Amino acid sequence: MSEKPNSEHILIIDDEESIRDGCKQALERFGFHVLSASDGQEGIRIARELHPAIAFVDLKMPSVSGMEVIEILSKDIEDIVLIVITGYASILSAVESLKKGAYDYIPKPFTPDQLRAVARRALEHRNLKIEAKKLKEEKEQIERNFITFVSHEMRSPLATIQQYMEALRVVSGDCLGTEAFDIVERCTKRIQNLEALVEHWLDLSRIENGTFAVDREPVDLHSVVEKAVDEMSHLCQIRGISVITNFPDVQPKIEGDKESLIRVLINIIGNATKYTPSGGTISIGISYDDHYVKLSVKDTGSGIPKEKLPFIFEPFYRAGGKEERQRGSGLGLTFCKRIMEAHGGAISVNSEEGRGTTFILTFPR
């Protein structure tokens, strides 16, 4: 074994002095550092103080029983490996103790070799457990770092390129011919899209690793709609699309995260503006029954072909095909779906080609 066993303590809790001494001798000869306690109370005290790697616990002791000691130690002492010392007659209670958190048992009488073998196995188990825990923590750390990495290392250069574009426009804008100016405009647009992609991708990673804030507080959907419509009104105006809202008199509140829901709605309205021709309408309505509150966003756009409907919430799926490449991150609806799921709700879609599309957000009441 590569680890130095003598750097860790083994605790023997047994009321029989001969067992304690026997174990101590057998294990010390192998290089372990052995502590001993003659009853449960003392054993728990020593374990809490010195955090042994392994504790051998006699099941049958006066006052505090071995079973109780097992229960307490497995709860209190991180990574401790517990082994029950038991008589042949009490194999059943040994099994019971495994349920309470013991890792193994050793029946009396046992030889020093048997004891050492059990101790070694217990240490190996402990090392594996600690290793696995470390790996898991590392993995989580990498995930968190990745998000930070993307935030900084990908956004910064994008921002810098955009700043150069701004500088180019300011410094030489007047000297550029229409064609060259057009190129600058197109580059800017593409970079903005790339930025949006990074942004959406970050949002999805945050949802996946649980760092995306989904607060749960009573939310008034009415105000969510108003905020989102307000945000999108300028774009709708430019595109010549009117927005109609239709709310019931009574507003049932839902539980959720207002900011995320506003973003969901902005995404859906944004989508609608892409596929709705000038002169069209986007209608937003709220309805409810005893169990659900529904928010619908209906457009008079080109609609989505039936065969494509099942895929539109998939990442990077584009119902519009290749021409749509330049128009968004391809993650907007995936984001909406994840946010709705985080709310215990759902998003669904109905569409008829040439007539329009309706997205429905369903929230439990």
Partner 1 sequence: MATEIKKKVLLVDDDKDFLTATKLILEKGGYEVALAEDGKAGVEMAEKEKPDLAIIDMMMETWGEGFSVISKIRGLETGKKMPLIVLSSVDLQGPYQSFEPSEEFPKVNMILQKPVKAEDLLKFIRDLTT
Instruction: Report the site for partner 1 in 199-228 (rule: CB under 8 A).
Output: 206, 212-213
Residue 308 within binding range of partner 1, rule CB under 8 A: no
Q: Which stretch binds partner 1 (CB under 8 A): 112-120, 148-156, 234-242, 316-324?
A: 148-156
Q: Out of 166, 208, 230, 341, which residue is the one contacting partner 1 (CB under 8 A)?
A: 166
Cis ω before 364 (30° cut-off from 0): no
Applying CB under 8 A, among 169, 227, 294, 327 the residue interacting with partner 1 is 169
121 binds partner 1 (CB under 8 A): no
The 3 state secondary structure assigned to the chain is: CCCCHHHCEEEEECCCHHHHHHHHHHHHCCCCEEEEECCHHHHHHHHHHHCCCEEEEECCCCCCCHHHHHHHHHHHCCCCEEEEEECHHHHHHHHHHHHCCCCEEEECCCCHHHHHHHHHHHHHHHHHHHHHHHHHHHHHHHHHHHHHHHHHHHHHHHHHHHHHHHHHHHHHCCCCCHHHHHHHHHHHHHHHHHHHHHHHHHHHHHHHHCCCCCCCEEECHHHHHHHHHHHHHHHHHHHCCEEEEECCCCCCCEEECHHHHHHHHHHHHHHHHHHCCCCCEEEEEEEECCCEEEEEEEECCCCCCHHHHHHCCCCCCCCCHHHHHHHCCCCHHHHHHHHHHHCCCEEEEEEECCCEEEEEEEEEC
Q: Indicate whether 193 belongs to the interface with partner 1 (CB under 8 A).
A: no
Nearer to partner 1, 180 or 213 (CB): 213
Nearer residue to partner 1 within complex by CB, 152 or 355? 152
> Residues 164, 183, 245, 246: which binds partner 1 (CB under 8 A)?
164
Question: Could you tell me the smallest distance in angstroms from the CB atom of residue 298 to partner 1?
Answer: 27
Backbone angles phi, psi at 300, to 5 degrees: -110, 40
State which of residues 129, 139, 152, 355 lies at the interface with partner 1 (CB under 8 A): 152
The answer to the question of residue 230 lying near partner 1 (CB under 8 A) is no
Q: In whole angstroms, how close is the CB of 209 to partner 1 at the nearest point?
A: 13
Q: Name which of 257 and 299 has its Cβ closer to partner 1.
A: 257
> Residue 65 or 151: which CB sits closer to partner 1?
151
Among 25, 141, 160, 233, interactor with partner 1 by CB under 8 A: 160
Closest CB 348 distance from partner 1, rounded Å: 26
Q: Which of 51, 60, 121, 155 binds partner 1 (CB under 8 A)?
A: 155
Position 120 contacts partner 1 (CB under 8 A): no
Stretch that binds partner 1, among 43-51, 52-60, 113-121, 152-160 (CB under 8 A): 152-160
| Binding span for partner 1 by CB under 8 A among 122-130, 153-161, 278-286, 348-356 | 153-161
Closest approach, Cβ 14 to partner 1, in A, equals: 54
Q: According to CB under 8 A, which one of 111, 141, 156, 209 is a site residue for partner 1? A: 156
Do the beta carbons of residue 242 and residue 281 sit within 8 Å? yes
Amino acid at 162: Q
Q: Report the residue from 143, 226, 231, 259 that binds partner 1 according to the rule CB under 8 A.
A: 259
Binders of partner 1: how many residues, by CB under 8 A? 21
> Which residues face 288 on adjacent strands?
293
Task: Determine contact, residues 352/303, Cβ cutoff 8 Å.
Answer: yes
Contact footprint for partner 1 (CB under 8 A): 151-152, 155-156, 158-160, 162-167, 169-171, 206, 212-213, 259-260
